[in-house]
């Protein structure tokens, strides 16, 4: 016990009697502390380099791959096959050229709008494309079929709503639809089934047993459109389909046509409503004086302007009415 106490007392008293000996231990301790700091610093630097280098490689590699392989991004944008191709169409009435060397290409799955001022040749062009009016010169191919060399075959794949269409108005609506369907080669059951579907879609159920002569202008337009669609054609060519049609019916017709296009059909329509063309169509052609002055997607044709402004520009610009001051002095 005395010996242990002596050792303990000696260990305890040593730092007190020799104050110079403790500094080496603290000096050694900072040296030991500095070594881990240097070690940790050295370890952290390679770690940062190692972490940053792979991260940079990982981030840049896909970008480099994407830049060198742009094909996958472009591949989904594939244009459909050409369904309507008009080349060099000319139509003269005496000395008046209604259409002058008109070219038009429409691809499958397009909702194609035709716009132009009055007398521009829209109706004449569509009539030649659908085989209703023989051109003075030029060719028209529909689904690879020459419309004027093989008219019967071409008309099987076309549904037409002409402007100022003369219908057999002494028939009832049901009889007119039946006539249109059987004329296209449909059997009795198919005609009746499709007639009922079309009547429901266009809101004509209550008018099917009335004479077409008693229809309003809007109802006449709708029954004519139903006749154009009853044989499920590949292409619909519609000249002013929404003229005289009320807004509710116009919305229903638009939805029907959009679903038809989504299923692979093609719609070509003429209209003076620029808002309608911008809202519904994906392609547009502007015809002025019997020529196509601009054609392509709606965005391509209008550029940075509205479609109406672009149309007015190509059609000759806005004209200021002068000499009409008498209209401001009322007669009473």
The pLDDT of 47-56, averaged and rounded, is 44
Domain annotation covers residue 307: yes
pLDDT digits (tens, 9 = 90+) for 11-25: 444 444 344 444 444
Res 53 pLDDT > 90? no
pLDDT in tens, 263-312: 999 999 999 888 889 899 999 999 999 999 999 999 999 988 889 889 89
> Distance between CA atoms of 329 and 115, rounded to whole angstroms?
36
Query: Cβ neighbours of residue 239 under 8 Å, at least 6 residues apart?
Result: 122, 123, 126, 161, 162, 163, 269, 270
Q: Is the pLDDT of residue 65 over 50?
A: no
Q: Is residue 242 part of a domain?
A: yes
Task: Please state the domain count of the chain.
Answer: 1
Average pLDDT, the chain: 80
Question: What confidence score (pLDDT) does residue 54 get?
Answer: 46
Q: Classify residue 117: in a domain, yes or no.
A: yes
Question: Residue 203: inside a domain, yes or no?
Answer: no
Residue 245 lies in a domain: yes
- More confident of the two residues 33 and 316: 316
Residue 31 lies in a domain: no
Q: DSSP characters for 282-318?
A: SEEEEEETTEEEEEEEHHHHHTTS-HHHHHHHHTT--
Say how far apart CA 332 and CA 249 lie, in whole Å: 41
The strand pairing partners of 285, in sequence order, are 114, 295
Q: How far apart are CA 150 and CA 148, in angstroms?
A: 6
**In this predicted structure, what is the pLDDT of residue 232?**
93
Range of the domain at 240: 84-157+233-314
Using CA atoms, how far apart are residues 160 and 123, in angstroms rounded to an integer? 12
Read off the pLDDT of residues 155-168 as tens digits, 9 standing for 90 and up: 999 999 988 778 89
Position 272 in a domain: yes
In a domain, 38, yes or no: no
CATH at residue 292: 3.40.50.300
- Listing DSSP states for 98-130 in one string gives EEEEEEEEEETT-EEEEE--TTSSHHHHHHHHT
């Amino acid at each position: 016990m005395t010996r242990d106490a002596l050792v303990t007392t000696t260990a305890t008293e040593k730092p007190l009697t020799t104050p110079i000996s403790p500094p080496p231990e603290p000096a050694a301790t900072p040296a030991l502390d500095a070594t881990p700091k240097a070690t940790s610093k050295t370890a952290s630097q390679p770690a940062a380099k190692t972490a940053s280098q792979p991260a940079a490689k990982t981030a840049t590699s896909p970008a480099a791959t994407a830049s060198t392989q742009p094909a996958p991004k472009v591949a989904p944008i594939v244009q459909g096959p050409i369904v309507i191709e008009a080349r060099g169409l000319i139509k003269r009435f005496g000395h008046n050229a209604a259409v002058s060397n008109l070219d038009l290409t429409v691809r499958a799955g397009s909702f194609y709008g035709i716009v132009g001022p009055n007398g521009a040749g829209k109706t004449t062009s569509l009539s030649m494309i659908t085989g209703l009016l023989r051109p003075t010169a030029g060719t028209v191919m529909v689904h690879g079929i020459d419309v004027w060399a093989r008219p019967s075959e071409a008309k099987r794949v076309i549904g037409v709503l002409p402007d100022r269409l003369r219908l057999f108005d002494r028939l009832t609506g049901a009889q007119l639809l039946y006539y249109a369907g059987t004329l296209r080669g449909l059997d009795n059951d198919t005609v009746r089934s499709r007639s009922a579907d079309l009547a429901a879609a266009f809101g004509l159920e209550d008018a099917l047993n009335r004479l077409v002569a008693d229809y309003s202008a809007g109802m006449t337009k709708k029954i004519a459109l139903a006749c154009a669609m009853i044989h499920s054609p590949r292409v619909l060519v519609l000249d002013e389909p929404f003229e005289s049609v009320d807004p509710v019916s116009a919305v229903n017709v638009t939805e029907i046509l959009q679903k038809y296009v989504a299923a692979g059909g093609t719609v070509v329509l003429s209209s003076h409503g620029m808002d309608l063309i911008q809202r519904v169509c994906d392609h547009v052609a502007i015809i002025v004086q019997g020529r196509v002055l601009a054609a392509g997607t709606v965005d391509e044709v209008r550029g940075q302007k509205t479609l109406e402004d672009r149309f007015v520009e190509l059609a000759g610009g806005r004209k200021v009415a002068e000499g009409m001051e008498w209209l401001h002095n009322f007669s009473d």
